[in-house]
Structure formats: structure tokens, C-alpha cells
Amino acid sequence: MKRILGIDPGLLHTGWSIIDIAGSTRKYIASGVILPPTNIPFAERLAYIFNGISDICEKCQPDECAIEIIFVNKNSKTTLLLGHARAAAITSVAVRNIPVFEYEANKIKKALTGVGHADKDQIYKMLSILLPTAHPKTNDESDAIAIALTHANTSRFE
């Protein structure tokens, strides 16, 4: 059995999920969203993300991590800020020697729906079929589950 941590990074909302895989079996364990307070300094928000992912790693003991690769936004400042949040999450996992695997948004969508430009509703519908016990409350949480499932479905585990 392998335990996978899926992360959808964001400075305002960082979605996370934990799934277990054994052979062709996928089991939803937990998911949620890390919400750094918006009224604290930027560095403290990054620390909040780092600490939130650290807590999840301590509680859930993932074997591997899958995270979304950011795309370049029209606003380069937004892309840079998102990159910082992503780095905080990756570093939190990497200091625990948990391997990190990265996936582009289109690859995640295609792995779950067969369509690289699927919308959020299509992703959510596939999640409800593939992991019927998962009931994400936000898009960030849903995306984190999708990222973990993509890793589970595209990687070879022994």
C-alpha cells in the first residue's frame, strides 16, 4: 500500500488530499484546505502553508506527494506569488524526504476525464465515481484529490 498526498497550491487556499492505493484499489482518506489569514505578512502566510502541510505529513504519513505545476498567468506578479506558495508546500514535504511528483493541469484533467480541457464540474463528477466517499467542499480540495488520483493512476507502484 502507498499513501499519496495531493496538493493544489495557492497563497489564499492550498487544497490537500490523502488517498491510499493498493494495486488497482484507491481509497479516499482525508482532504481539506489550508487558509492562511490574509491580514498577516507575506512571509508568515508562507510559513502558515509550510506548517499546515507539515501537520498533514505528521498526522497522515504520506509515502509520496503529487503537486500541480503552476501555469504562467497573464499577471506575472500573480504567477510569482503562487510560485512562493508552491515552494513552501514542496519544501515542507521535501524536508521529510517524501518524493514529490509534479503534474500539469491539462495532464491531471486528461488523466481523470480523458479530456485535457475538462471543467471543474467534469472533474468533480469523475471524482465522485472514482472515490465515492470523497465529498470535497471546495474546488481547491477537489483539485487536490484529482492530483493525488492522477499520480495514483499514472505511476507504477510495487
Annotated catalytic residues are 8, 68, 140
Least Cα distance to 149 among 107, 120, 121 occurs for 107
Quote the CA–CA distance of 30 and 136 in Å, as a whole number. Answer: 9
CA atoms 140, 73, 95, 2: torsion sign:
positive
Q: Per the structure block, which three cell numbers stand in for 19?
A: 488517498
Least Cα distance to 148 among 133, 125, 129, 131 occurs for 131
CB 90 within 8 A of CB 79: no
CB 130 within 8 A of CB 153: no
Residues whose CB falls within 8 Å of the CB of residue 25, separated by 6 or more in sequence, listed in order: none
